[in-house]
């Protein structure tokens, strides 16, 4: 499984060592979750929007891979706007992109397939949640502190923590790729 084919945004990271760490982290998460390439098309980005899956067709309308890519693309677009405002050098573009790509790395081990092929949350996912599971999973790759903060505090866990500016961007792009989508699907059901 070629991570750069699944997540082409990896190529946007200029630092090759950081690219390699991102690839290794994603590979480890997908392997540990026991997913093959076809499975990746079956993992919804959240279990909190029932409308993502319709009837007997278990393929979700928005997968975890599509969500991660959309969040990362929004982070890159946000960086570009900040650059237009003269603030490009205040942000670490590489680490912003790495954080976007890895913020939900824990989701690959938070979910599993039940006997009917439906994706469900593991007990560990309920008790610890994907941010902590993700941080624990990638410890060996010694990712920059910004990327580690993005993994563990992109979600509500970070609401009382002063997030770094790049992590604040990731958090908001993540929310943009969730809350309005939930409204859209919930209201059409």
List residues near Fe ion by CB under 5 A: 104, 174
Distance CA 129, CA 55 (A): 27
**Phi and psi for 63 in degrees, rounded to 5?**
-90, 170
Which of 156, 35, 36 has its CA nearest to residue 107?
Answer: 35
Closest to Fe ion by CB, 18 or 44: 44
**Beta-ladder partners of 57:** 54
Nearest distance from residue 89's CB to Fe ion, in Å?
27
* Beta carbons of 97 and 18 less than 8 angstroms apart: no
Closest to Fe ion by CB, 41 or 63: 63
Nearest distance from residue 103's CB to Fe ion, in Å?
5
Closest to Fe ion by CB, 115 or 180: 180
Nearest distance from residue 71's CB to Fe ion, in Å?
6
Closest to Fe ion by CB, 66 or 90: 66
Nearest distance from residue 152's CB to Fe ion, in Å?
13
**Phi and psi for 121 in degrees, rounded to 5?**
-90, 135
User: Which tokens sit at 116?
Assistant: 């009917």
């Amino acid at each position: 499984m070629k991570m750069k084919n699944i997540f082409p945004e990896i190529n946007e990271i200029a630092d090759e060592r950081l690219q390699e760490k991102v690839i290794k982290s994603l590979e480890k998460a997908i392997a540990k979750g026991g997913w093959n390439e076809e499975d990746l098309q079956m993992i919804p980005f959240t279990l909190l929007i029932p409308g993502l899956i319709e009837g007997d067709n278990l393929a979700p309308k928005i997968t975890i891979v599509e969500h991660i890519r959309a969040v990362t693309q929004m982070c890159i677009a946000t960086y570009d706007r900040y650059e237009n405002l003269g603030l490009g050098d205040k942000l670490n573009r590489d680490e912003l992109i790495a954080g976007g790509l890895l913020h939900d790395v824990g989701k690959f081990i938070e979910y599993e397939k039940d006997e009917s092929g439906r994706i469900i949350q593991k007990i560990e996912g309920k008790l610890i949640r994907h941010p902590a599971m993700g941080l624990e999973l990638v410890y060996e790759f010694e990712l920059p502190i910004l990327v580690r903060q993005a993994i563990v505090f992109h979600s509500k866990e970070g609401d009382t923590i002063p997030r770094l500016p790049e992590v604040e961007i990731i958090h908001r792009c993540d929310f943009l790729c969730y809350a309005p989508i939930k409204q859209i699907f919930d209201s059409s059901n």
